[in-house]
Amino acid sequence: MEVKKTPKADLENKKSIFFEIGLALSLLIVLLAFEWTSSDAAVTVDQSQIASVKMEEEIVPITNQDEVKPPEPPKVKSVAEVIKVVEDNVDVADNADIFDSDFKEDAAVEIVNFNDTDGEVEEEEPEVFVIVEDMPVYGNGGGINEFRNDVMKALKYPDAAAENNIQGRVMLTFVVNEKGEVCNVKVARGIDPLLDNAAIKAITSIKKKWKPGKQRGKPARVMFNIPVTFQLQ
């Protein structure tokens, strides 16, 4: 007769449960082994041995810095001011020679005035007019236009200015005095020293005189403006 086990009595079905229980127990034992601490051993130290050991302390020598005294200031020699007292017992005789024996109280005194100009009398420059009652007349009855034409004929173009291509218009002023002469030629507006000097030479080279202008029947000085044009062809 074959013996048969009931399913409940079969241990093969509980094999996995037993394996898990065993694994849990082994893990628990390992954790307890890590957590287990041994008691510290008591260490006894003989105080007598400690007492017998001499501790040498390192002594650091203390250095004292010498104080540096500042140099003494130079002594100022006191100079005593000596005042000599002179007795004022000298008799001074009246000296009559210091006065002029020829001095007279009723003599007249002449006051002389000295001028800074040493006798030179400054002459006032006559007034220069721009417009007068009778304007100056040039040459044969012409005016400023005829004079300008003669100036352009007498004008010489400087070679240095021509080589450097310097050209333009120079404005001059001049005065016709009481004798009908041209004077006080000045550059009112210039271009270049070469052209300015050439224009002045052209005006001063003309010898033809003017008929002087008149103001209130008297000869007067009259100023004119004249442009001189320099142009290369």
C-alpha distances in Å from residue 128, one per residue of 133, 144, 216: 13, 17, 14
Interval 52-100: pLDDT, tens: 445 555 566 666 666 667 777 777 666 555 566 656 565 555 554 544 5
The predicted pLDDT at position 82 comes to 59
Q: What is the mean pLDDT of the chain?
A: 75
Of 91-100, 146-155, 161-170, 197-206, give the lowest mean pLDDT range: 91-100
Dihedral, CA of residue 219, residue 221, residue 223 and residue 224, to nearest 10: 40
Interval 96-150: pLDDT, tens: 454 455 545 555 545 555 455 555 555 677 788 988 888 999 887 778 888 999 9
Assign domain 128-230 to a CATH class: alpha beta
More reliable by pLDDT, 75 or 211: 211
